[in-house]
Structure 1
Amino acid sequence: MRRILVPTDFSEQARNAFEVAVAVARRTGAAIKLLHVIEAPSYNYAPTFSATGDIIAPYNNNMEQVYVLQLMETTRGQMEQLINTVEHKGVDVVQEVDVDKVINKIKRTIREDDVDLVVMGSKGASGLDEFLVGSNTEKVVRSAECPVLTVKRREPNFDVREIVLASDFRREVSQAMDRFKAFQSLFDARLHLVYINTPGAFESSSNVRQKLEETTEKYGLRNYSINVYNDSVEEEGIMHFANDIGADLIMMATHGRTGFSHLLSGSIAEDLVNHTQIPVLTFHIK
């Protein structure tokens, strides 16, 4: 792991994410980029004309430039304050402030900087706000081409000992397994494979255990446990199981569906990011 991206809005959760990113960087030797994106508003003012009637510059451009310059100055101060409040001695930290759409900039930075891991804070959401609005964190989880680690609460000593890997353990998980194994190895943690049995998609425990055993053999897993957990819905089952074993991290692969299919099917990974206090590591599979 060489590059970690930490998008920040200077919230408490974003600071917590930076703290976790520093802990991961200390173990891997990775460099961290702190990124803040300013989304400048658009105004519909009349343009400015010369004496001959030619357009010199739209008035809204002048207004936006002043507004953005003021924001940039404020943001630089906030960035310095953030860097100074998290102890990061020995970790290479760079900062960037840009004017763009948040998601577009994050996706472009992941691609252009060849980012290995995104660490983001999440405030969570519920009810109508979750359905209508969502969050930038959810959008990154849905679309990022690298693993995304979401953090809510402060984790001053981010030392992962117990990891939950929740999946249906079908063929698609193979795309993410190497990444998940690397994260387990990074912390020398115990991996708990869990299949959530629900009334709507019930399988016999013997069949599920056989599937999980085949998975462990196929990918050469070490230091693991195999678990079948019954619950009403998958998301709640994962959270209940993780709480039962005192998990430090939940790992999941996500299909990253968008648009109408996403509204119909939802995303368990995004639901977890919204509702659990435990850090969640997701990897978008195609």
Structure 2
Amino acid sequence: MEMKQLLVPVDFSDCSEYALEVAAQLARKLNGTITIFHMMGVSESVLAKSELYEQEEAKYYMNLAKEKINEYTNKSYLMGIPVKTVIQNYKVFEEVNKVAQEQQIDLIVMGSHGSRGFSRLFVGSNTEKVVRSAEVPVLVIKKPHHDFKVENVVFACDLEAENRAAFQKALDFSNLFNAELQLVYINTEGSNFLNSRQIAEKVADFTSIIGNSHKVNIYHDFSVEQGIFNFAESISANMVVIPTHGRKGIAHFFKGSIGEKMANTVKLPLMTIKI
């Protein structure tokens, strides 16, 4: 799994810069390149005006975007890293995947403005829209990481066979950094609760697919989201990776477990890998 070509969507917010700085550290570590992508989002009301007015207006917004992107490309942490920029008049966040395909991107790194709980980080947000449509992994960054580390990574899934490819990608990514990858299954109370025998069967089935050398951690909690981050905190993980189901969105991974039970702000970097 190569991570040479990184795409960073920017809206010139602080979160965008957090993502760009992390992307720079990854690119420097992996001898990669960065493509900075900005969506102008010029409204249809502007485009509906006269052709001359349209050209002048579009030129104004393009120049403004170029000026702002130049501020980004001149950041000291980007020195020595090949960087190119793409500016498009897209307004739909699913278009990020189109740019990723055109630029042969390996990883999308983007900031998130989400602030409360795991579900709010995604559901209904622009981040969710990118995650749903992206064919490549997406790394979500929520705070500054001036010294970004990939040393202890958590891969959380429901141990179904369809997660095999996502697990392998997470393992390949971890290996790029000689990082430890911890596989975890969150056992929740209620209708999704599994007894010891059921868990043992589930673990045996999944490890027979991915290789019996991989240990599966079992963590019990009130919800999947709470369990993931409590487990990650307990082992001092610095990244979480989860599989997603594309069009079904992040909610499918959690099934009935999404709840506003997580009181703390999600701060860990989170990578999603489409099944």
Asked which structure has the greater CA Rg, the reply is 1
Q: Which residue of 2 aligns with 1:49?
A: none
Q: Does 1:219 align with 2:221?
A: no
Q: Which residue of 1 aligns with 2:193?
A: 202
Q: Does 1:32 align with 2:34?
A: yes
Q: Does 1:176 align with 2:166?
A: yes
Uncovered stretches (5+) of structure 2, i.e. residues with no partner: none
Secondary structure at the residue paired with 2:140? strand
Contact kept, 8 Å, 2:21 with 2:145, in 1: the verdict is yes
1:22 to partner: Cα distance: 1.2
Contact kept, 8 Å, 2:115 with 2:266, in 1: the verdict is no
Q: Partners of 1:82 and 1:221 in 2: how far apart? A: 46
Q: Does 1:256 align with 2:258?
A: no
TM-score with structure 1 setting the length: 0.81
Q: Which residue of 2 aligns with 1:54?
A: none
Secondary structure at the residue paired with 2:74? helix
1:247 maps to which of 225, 233, 237: 237
Secondary structure at the residue paired with 1:87? helix
Percent sequence identity over aligned pairs: 35
Per-residue CA shift, 1:114-162, capped at 9, x if unaligned? 21110000011559x9599822211111120010000011111111111
Contact kept, 8 Å, 2:114 with 2:121, in 1: the verdict is no
201-210 or 170-179: bigger deviation: 201-210
Amino acid at match of 1:38: M
Contact kept, 8 Å, 1:213 with 1:226, in 2: the verdict is no
Q: Which residue of 2 aligns with 1:99?
A: 89
Distance 1:66 1:279, change over 3 A: same
Secondary structure at the residue paired with 1:247? coil
Q: Partners of 2:154 and 2:212 in 1: how far apart? A: 14
1:117 maps to which of 107, 112, 123: 107
Q: Partners of 1:188 and 1:209 in 2: how far apart? A: 29
Q: Which residue of 2 aligns with 1:73?
A: 63
Q: Partners of 1:126 and 1:64 in 2: how far apart? A: 40
Amino acid at match of 1:203: L
Amino acid at match of 2:193: F
Secondary structure at the residue paired with 2:155? strand
Contact kept, 8 Å, 2:116 with 2:266, in 1: the verdict is no
1:176 to partner: Cα distance: 1.2
Secondary structure at the residue paired with 2:246? coil
1:145 maps to which of 135, 140, 143: 135
1:237 to partner: Cα distance: 1.1
Distance 1:86 1:152, change over 3 A: farther
Distance 1:144 1:267, change over 3 A: farther
1:252 to partner: Cα distance: 0.5
Q: What is the alpha-carbon root mean square deviation over aligned residues? A: 3.2
Q: Which residue of 2 aligns with 1:53?
A: none
Q: Which runs of 4+ in 1 moved over 4 A?
A: 129-133, 264-268
Amino acid at match of 1:277: K
1:68 to partner: Cα distance: 2.5
Secondary structure at the residue paired with 2:222? coil
Amino acid at match of 2:101: R
Amino acid at match of 1:14: S
85-94 or 110-119: bigger deviation: 85-94
